[in-house]
């Protein structure tokens, strides 16, 4: 498999102003996988789901997008995480996520985890995020990080978006910094957002972020910065890549995940880092103009309870 994206699928309910709910599928690395597949990249999703009907629907949604699901482990009597998004009809307003019992949290402790680890070792590129890491226990983290390290030795490239979320780490910033540092030590390509890095690490500028990540040995770094230019460091050179057009934002969710997919797809096509960042900007623009909610997959409408 060209790319293995590691993380989770969340069942997402987006509440519109009229009180009706749209049902879709979210999860940062899942969304990146969707965009990668739509860009012609062969991608598999590594996660765990239950055997309930919503897990079946999520799996069907991934398959419909051309994502390989042979690395999706199944667990009886467990259901995926659920996100509730409040929308005003123009942009995402607020979301709450319930994922404590999600089977994705035990991906590297379930029967079959070794098969997932073997595929991480043999992939051309492994992509994951800080949200991915926040799911796992220390046992799970140890197994995943060991697989990444071995994969790197075998020639796999490791791409990582720190995507720090305070709630995902239960407010434990010290643990978040420690775990993210271990991931960075095993990464070839980092795709952080400056806002996250400033909040968690106190970085004063995107250049500060690049300098800090270089201390972990990361050679290719792209710092996303909202509507401002992305700062790209590769091959010993740092350059700004501006957003090509002003965007009327209708959905603030998942633009970073789309950017990551555009960048990775372009780099897999052997385009330059600057050209890849431009491709990322363009794919992110489509996400920013989309409907409220995170998932790019097709949505269905659910009845309200009132």
Q: What are phi and psi of 164, to 5 degrees?
A: -75, 130
Task: Please report, in tens digits, the pLDDT of each residue of the chain (306 residues total).
Answer: 699 999 999 999 988 778 888 899 999 999 999 999 999 999 999 999 999 999 999 999 999 999 999 999 999 989 999 999 886 655 555 678 999 999 999 999 999 999 999 999 999 999 999 999 999 999 999 999 999 999 999 999 999 999 999 989 999 999 999 999 999 999 999 999 999 999 999 999 999 999 999 999 999 999 999 999 999 999 999 999 999 877 655 566 688 999 999 999 999 999 999 999 999 999 998 877 765 445 554 444 444 433
- 3-state SS record for the chain: CCEEEECCCEEEEEECCCCCEEEEEECHHHHHHHHHHHCCCCEEEEEEEECCHHHHHHHHHHHHCCCECCCEEEECCCCCCEEEEEECCCCEEEEEEECCCCHHHHHHHCCCHHHHHHHHHHCCEEEEEHHHHHHCCHHHHHHHHHHHHHHHHCCCEEEEECCCCCCCCCCCHHHHHHHHHHHHHCCCEECCEHHHHHHHHCCCCHHHHHHHHHCCCCCEEEEECCCCCEEEEECCEEEEECCCCCCCCCCCCCHHHHHHHHHHHHHHCCCCHHHHHHHHHHHHHHHHCCCCCCCCCCCEEECCCC
Alpha carbon distance 266, 264 (integer Å): 5
Res 304: pLDDT: 40
Contacts of 12 (CB under 8 A, 6+ apart): 23, 24, 25, 26, 82, 83, 85, 293, 294, 295
Alpha carbon distance 251, 234 (integer Å): 30
Res 101: pLDDT: 92
Nearest alpha-carbon partner for 5 in 38, 27, 33: 33
Contacts 24+ apart (CB under 8 A), 240-245: 241/274, 241/277, 241/278, 241/281, 243/281, 243/285, 244/278, 244/281, 244/282, 244/285, 245/285
Contacts of 201 (CB under 8 A, 6+ apart): 177, 209, 212
**By the 8 A CB rule, do 74 and 116 touch?**
no
Res 303: pLDDT: 44
Q: What are phi and psi of 27, to 5 degrees?
A: 115, 125
Nearest alpha-carbon partner for 193 in 102, 259, 263: 259
Contacts of 84 (CB under 8 A, 6+ apart): 13, 15, 95, 96, 97
Res 86: pLDDT: 82
Full set of structural domains in the chain with CATH: 3-294 (3.40.1190.20)
pTM of the model: 0.92
């Amino acid at each position: 498999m060209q790319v293995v994206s590691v993380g989770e699928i969340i069942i997402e309910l987006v509440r519109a102003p009229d009180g009706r709910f749209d049902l879709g599928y979210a999860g940062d690395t899942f969304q990146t996988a969707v965009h990668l597949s739509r860009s012609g990249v062969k991608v598999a999703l590594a996660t765990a789901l239950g055997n309930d009907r919503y897990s079946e629907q999520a799996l069907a949604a991934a398959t419909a997008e051309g994502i390989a699901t042979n690395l999706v482990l199944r667990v009886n009597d467990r259901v995926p995480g659920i996100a509730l998004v409040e929308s005003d009809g123009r942009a995402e307003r607020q979301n709450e996520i319930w994922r404590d019992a999600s089977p994705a949290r035990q991906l590297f402790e379930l029967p079959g985890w070794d098969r997932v680890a073997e595929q991480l070792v043999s992939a051309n590129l492994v992509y994951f995020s800080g949200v991915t890491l926040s799911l796992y226990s220390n046992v799970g983290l140890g197994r995943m990080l060991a697989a990444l390290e071995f994969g790197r030795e075998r020639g796999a490239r490791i791409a990582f978006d720190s995507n720090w979320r305070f709630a995902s780490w239960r407010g434990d910033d010290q643990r978040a910094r420690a775990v993210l540092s271990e991931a960075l030590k095993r990464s070839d390509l980092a795709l952080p957002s400056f806002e996250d890095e400033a909040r968690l690490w106190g970085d004063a500028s995107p250049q500060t972020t690049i300098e800090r990540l270089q201390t972990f040995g990361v050679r290719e770094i792209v710092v996303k910065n909202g509507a401002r230019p992305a700062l790209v460091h590769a091959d010993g050179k740092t350059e700004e890549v501006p957003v090509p057009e002003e965007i009327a934002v209708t959905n603030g969710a998942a633009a970073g995940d789309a950017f990551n997919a555009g960048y990775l797809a372009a780099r897999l096509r052997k385009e330059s880092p600057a050209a890849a960042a431009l491709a990322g900007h363009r794919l992110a623009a489509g996400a920013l103009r989309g409907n409220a909610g995170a998932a790019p997959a097709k949505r269905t409408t659910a009845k309200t309870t009132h």
